[in-house]
Amino acid sequence: MRHLISGAAGFIGSHLCDRLIQEGHEVVALDNFITGSLENVAHLKGHARFRLEECNVAAGFSAAGVFDQVWHLASLASPKHYLAHPIETLETGSTATRNMLEVARRDGARFLVTSTSECYGDPLEHPQVETYWGNVNPVGLRSCYDESKRYAEAMTMAYSRAHGVRTNIARIFNTYGPRMALDDGRVVPAFLDQALRGQPLTVFGDGSQTRSFCYVSDMVDGLMRLSRSEERLPVNLGNPLELTILEFAQRISRLAGRELKVTHEPLPSDDPRKRQPDISKARRLLGWEPKVNLEDGLRETIAYFKALAEGSGRHKSPALSSPR
């Protein structure tokens, strides 16, 4: 099959490229590198079935040939990035989503958009199930990201209903693994960067807020399974193991092999207090659930960041390695 992927040089996008290439498909990869990195796909350079094009999908682009599957993964997913680029974030969810949908409509291709658990906002329902409509501040600091994804879901459903495009919507919960950017501000790379430097771990608020963490190979497997399904409504993809941020800091400290202090900073505006996916739908429809346990996944991720810090192995992180 021939695949078109936006955000292909990003963290999850680059691993999806690997999976598709491994399965024998052809990939046309799009990225404007506002947060993606050439290093994430450098190992695919020169591959006969991989082509990388630098472009902003919100500004319009030419997608030559016919595609069987269109994936819209382009996103500024880190608060650090979407707060710095709020307009670009909104355009990625709106104009860019429609541009990618138009390619799928043109070619009669399948279409998958990666949405987010942030559609649930600061949830009043726990764990979060797909039928929950959320508790989102539409004009808060985080609204550029939250509302862009909610709009992307609405646009995707509109194309499904009005034009018969075969669509899927993945609501992704916190995902981690090799190729995350150490400086993107999210909790996993932030903690690991501080741990590798022997610095105190920065916890926002009192650390009682919860998150759940899914290893990237599990996430890509979920996306692949969803893309082959006939489910049109959103599906949660994430790991239901829930930890407080303080508990997570303790695990990082233990894996780092040293006692790390914790410092506290004020909690950001509209930061969710609870975040845990109900994945009953994914289990039932896709036969999917995470397989990689947290400590194994973190060890793999730590090894990747250590290699980067040592200036070696920059491109050699194993494609979709699946520690057990």
Write out the DSSP string of 179-191. Answer: T--TTS--HHHHH
What φ, ψ does residue 67 adopt, rounded to 5°? -110, 145
pLDDT at 316: 41
Judged by DSSP in three states, 62 sits in coil
pLDDT one digit per residue (tens) for the chain, 324 residues: 999 999 999 999 999 999 999 999 999 999 999 999 999 999 999 999 999 999 999 998 888 899 999 999 999 998 899 999 999 999 999 999 999 999 999 999 999 999 999 999 999 999 999 999 999 999 999 999 999 999 999 999 999 999 999 999 999 999 999 999 887 878 898 898 888 888 999 998 999 999 999 999 999 999 999 999 999 999 999 999 999 999 999 998 888 887 889 999 888 877 788 889 999 999 999 999 999 999 999 999 999 988 887 774 443 444 443 332
The residue written with tokens 């658990």 in the block is 117
Choose the catalytic residue: 82, 120, 145, 159.
Answer: 145
Report the distance separating Cα 281 and Cα 206, nearest Å: 33
Q: Reply yes or no on whether 176 is catalytic.
A: no
> What number of helices (H) and strands (E) belong to the chain?
10, 13
Report the distance separating Cα 73 and Cα 9, nearest Å: 10
The residue written with tokens 């194309």 in the block is 159
Classify residue 324 as exposed, middle or buried by CB count within 10 Å of its CB (0-12, 13-18, 19+). Answer: exposed
Looking at beta carbons, which pairs linking 285-289 to residues 24 or more positions away fall under 8 Å? 285/229, 285/231, 285/235, 286/222, 286/225, 286/226, 286/229, 286/235, 287/225, 288/221, 288/222, 288/225, 288/226, 288/237
Report the distance separating Cα 101 and Cα 89, nearest Å: 17
CA 248 to centroid of chain Cα atoms:
19
For β-strands 50-54 and 201-204, DSSP reports them as: unpaired
pTM for this model (two decimals) = 0.92
* Structural domains of the chain, ranges and CATH numbers in brackets: 2-176+214-239+276-291 (3.40.50.720)
